[in-house]
Amino acid sequence: MPVIANDDQHDPNKILPIDYDWAREYYESGVANNWVPQEIPMQDDVRQWNGDALTEGERRLVEWNLGFFSTAESLTANNVVLALYEYVTAPECRQYLLRQAYEEAIHTDTFIYCCDSLGFDPEYMYGMYDRIPSISEKDEFVVDLTRAIDRDEFTIETDADLREFLRDLVGFYVIMEGVFFYAGFAMMLGLKRRNKMVGIGQQFEYIMRDESLHVGFGVDLINQIRSENPGVWTEEFGREVTDLVTEAVELERIYAHEACPDDVLGMSGEGFADYVEHVADRRLEQLDLPAQYGTDNPFPWMSEQVDLNKEKNFFETQVTEYRSGGSLDW
């Protein structure tokens, strides 16, 4: 009974009774996390950005991350709507995809808000994904993984087709949202801890909370497909996925060093790269693949913030910390 295409078990218009309670729970958790960027004041950020509160290195961190995320959020939204939605037929999964698409619109709006309030030239900020090689290579890497299912005539008939579909899920949920976003999260939250650009930092905290649900949903969807289609996830495919994750870590390492060539507030490009290795190991474990790095988390404060430990608690214990409407306590 696959959750995806060729699925004659699910009428996409008939959501009850629910077959996949986990998908429904992600939807409810997403709704409980509602927020919009305009709730967060930007006056202090504007003052810091236009004054001399920030060093060149700190300004660079802000620019690189606005440059990467401003277009990455739209890429992700387009993948959900234009590539995934057609093939995920279980209605409770589609309900979550619609919720995720809305959250990606909120994230897109966040970067409009940041660009406007800081007075960036839009061509400058939205051109970075073309102009900065370490950003365009990350984007191209995930887009490449999804070329097969983007074709109009793509259908899921065979195990090989299903693996194409899984490549898209790995590319966007595990690599884009689960690895490529995390150096940026650490950079912006690192600045916020030192009272630099706290408005943007808080917006990144909200985005990170949303993204941790997106990653969780994607991983659960992958694992659901695996359990319903036992022949699909071969050892060879597992090795391919591991290689994709380690290639992604290399791209993220280059990005981290380029965004942070010199130490900023005691943080270094190497520290961010280590953090990405730590995150990548957790992602591999979520897919039942062996960890590749064994790198300690160089930023324990990131775990306090939200991320991996809380994600784990969340998925083990079900919604307790996620109840509180728009507010930011986990």
- Catalytic positions are 113
- Which of the residues 187 through 246 are near Mn ion (CB under 5 A)? 211, 214
- Which of the residues 70 through 99 are near Fe ion (CB under 5 A)? 73
Which residue's Cβ lies closest to Fe ion? Answer: 107
Shortest Cβ 101–Fe ion spacing (Å): 10
Q: Which is nearer to Mn ion, 211 or 277 (CB)?
A: 211
Q: Which two tokens stand for residue 161?
A: 């087709």
CA of 247: how far to CAs of 29, 68, 171, 212, in Å?
Answer: 32, 18, 12, 22
Shortest Cβ 111–Fe ion spacing (Å): 10
Q: Which is nearer to Fe ion, 27 or 233 (CB)?
A: 27
Shortest Cβ 210–Fe ion spacing (Å): 6
CA of 74: how far to CAs of 68, 83, 105, 106, 114, in Å?
Answer: 11, 13, 8, 10, 15
Residue that the structure tokens 């690192």 belong to? 190
For 168, other C-beta atoms within 10 Å of its C-beta total 21
Residue 283 interacts with Fe ion (CB under 5 A): yes or no: no
The span of 117-125, 153-161, 173-181, 227-235 binding Mn ion (CB under 5 A) equals 173-181
What letter does residue 40 receive in the DSSP assignment?
Answer: S
* Region of residue 315 (phi > 0: left; psi between -120 and 50: alpha; otherwise: beta): alpha
- Which of the residues 96 through 115 are near Fe ion (CB under 5 A)? 104, 107
CA of 175: how far to CAs of 118, 269, 276, 293, 308, in Å?
Answer: 29, 19, 11, 16, 15
Q: Which is nearer to Fe ion, 104 or 274 (CB)?
A: 104
Shortest Cβ 319–Fe ion spacing (Å): 20
Q: Which is nearer to Fe ion, 107 or 196 (CB)?
A: 107
Distance CA 161, CA 217 (A): 21
133 prior amide bond cis, ω within 30: no
Interface with Mn ion (CB under 5 A)? 177, 211, 214
Interface with Fe ion (CB under 5 A)? 73, 104, 107
